[in-house]
A and B are shown apart, each in its own frame.
Chain A
Amino acid sequence: MPNAVDESNIHDTIKSWVQTYSDALYSFALCKTSSKEIAEDLVQETFLATLQSFNNYEGRSNPKTWLMAILSNKINDYHRKNFKNPTLMDSSIYTSFFNENGVWNSEQFPAKWQESTEHLLDNPNFIKVFQDCMQHLPPNWISAIQLRYLHEKKGEIICQELNISPTNYWKIIQRAKLMLRKCIELGWFSK
């Protein structure tokens, strides 16, 4: 049981971490969850968790590394939980992209992008457009995408983990892709 002096030291240390690192943690969480509210909650939980487990830290790593590790776990847990009961959503998105024969509607037809995409992976303006587009997706689709790329796992393994049928899983990815693709095209390539 730490004495009162230690307690207040711990509090002061963590408060100074909040001051120094919370923007970086928040930016990271925002990027991974595409939601301001969820990012704020997760960052707050991260600092509260450090209060509980401060004795395990013992200065073994850079505080930011430790905080990021806790936050990353919380983000993964959030995506798993969020995706546990995916609403396979209505199929209205299909009818906006395809006609009754399953052929592209004329205004949805994927156009050839007039710009080479190679250099875009590191272009900050493009990254911004892409992330704004991610924010427009329903939260559990974002989770589906995050889980897909986070572990670089094969679809079957993710499906077992999440208890979802493979068909439903790639249909969610398909719908998310349809929307993302369109949004990126409007936000970048046709400007």
Chain B
Amino acid sequence: MKFLMLSCLKTTELIEKKALSSLSLKEKVQLIIHKRICGACAEYEKQSKFIDNFLKKHIHKTDDASIPQSQNEELKEKIKSKL
């Protein structure tokens, strides 16, 4: 069994690898076993997926409504002076 045991450090890496690419059969089994016995890593995966969803949703948005608006008068003047 020992060869199927993962550390939490390695588990968090595999969780990201899984989302980006694919896992080998051994890695898949290792991940399932680890999450069964480690609540923290199981929770980490849920939260990591939430972060993914958030980023996916917001990175494509270009409409003002979803982007906090800042004003920068200095920049306006700076650009105008360079035109």
Interface residues of A (CB under 8 A from B): 11, 14-15, 18-19, 22-24, 26-28, 30-32, 40, 43-44, 47-48, 51, 68, 72, 94, 97-98, 101-104, 109-113, 117, 120-122, 124, 127-128, 130-131, 145-146, 148-150, 152, 154-156, 166, 169-171, 173-174, 177-178, 180-181, 184-185
* CB within 8 Å: A-B pair count: 136
Which residues 3-25 of B sit at the A interface, judged by CB distance below 8 A? 7-10, 12-13, 15-17, 20-21
Which residues on B are within 8 Å of A, measured CB to CB? Answer: 7-10, 12-13, 15-17, 20-21, 40-41, 43-44, 47-48, 50-60, 62, 64, 66-72, 75-76, 78-80, 82-83
Provide the bound-state CA to CA distance between A11 and B82, in Å.
11
Contact A24 B40 (CB under 8 A): no
Question: Secondary structure at chain A's binding surface: helix, strand, loop or mixed?
Answer: helix
Q: Is the interface of B mostly helix, strand, loop or mixed?
A: helix
| A28-B68 Cα distance, complex, nearest whole Å | 8
